[in-house]
Amino acid sequence: MHELSIVANLFEILEEKAKEQKAKKIVMVKLQVGALSGVVPEFLETAFNIYKKDTLADKARLEIKKIPLRVQCQKCRTEMVKDDFVFICSKCGAKELKTLSGTELLLEKIELEV
C-alpha cells in the first residue's frame, strides 16, 4: 500500500505544473501504469480521491492507462506481451528479452482550466 505515498508525489508535480500554467483548476489527470510498475491502479484511484480534497484538483477525473509488459527477444527479434512475467521467449525459448514497456509509472498529461 505505497499508493498513497505515490499519490503524494503526484500532487507535488501537479501543484508545480498548475503554478507554471497559472491554472485555476485541474480537471483531468492521466497516468500511465505498467503491469510491472508495482502499483495497483484501483488503490491509486482510491488514494487520489482522498488526496484531491481541498486542492486545485478537487473535482478532477483520474484516467489510468494500463500498459502491459511488452518485451522483445534479442535472439529472434519477436515482440510479445508477457502477462505471466515469464522472461522466456514464447517463440524460440531464449532468455535474452529486452523490456520495451510495462514498468511505467508516469504522469502523462493534465487538463487545466486557466
Partner 1 sequence: MEKKEVLVLEELLGSNKKIASEIRKKLKEKGIMTINLLSSPGAGKTTLLERIAEELGPECKMAVIEGDIETERDSERIRAKGIPAWQIITGGACHLEAKMVAKVFSEIPADLDFLFIENVGNLVCPASYDLGENIRCVILSIPEGDDKPKKYPKAFTTSDCLIINKADLLPLLPFNKENAKKEALEINPKLKIFVTSALKGSGVRELIDYFLSSLHKLRQENA
- Out of 2, 19, 61, 65, name the contact with partner 1 by CB under 8 A: 2
Residue with cell 522483445: 72
Among 6, 57, 60, 67, binds partner 1 (CB under 8 A): 6
C-alpha cell at 69: 509488459
CB of 22 to partner 1, least distance (A): 10
Q: Are 64 and 41 in contact (CB under 8 A)?
A: yes
Determine which residue in the list 21, 65, 77, 91 makes contact with partner 1, applying CB under 8 A.
21
Q: Do residues 28 and 60 lie in contact, with contact meaning Cβ atoms separated by under 8 Å?
A: yes
Residue 66 makes contact with partner 1 by CB under 8 A: no
**Could you give phi then psi for residue 39, rounded to 5 degrees?**
-120, 155
Would you count residue 31 as binding partner 1 (CB under 8 A)?
A: yes
> Does residue 113 touch partner 1 according to CB under 8 A?
yes
Query: Which of helix, strand or coil describes residue 42?
Result: helix
Of the candidates 49, 68, 65, which has an alpha carbon nearest to the alpha carbon of residue 57? 49
List residues near partner 1 by CB under 8 A: 1-2, 5-6, 9-10, 12-13, 17, 21, 23-24, 27, 31, 36-39, 84-88, 95-96, 105-114
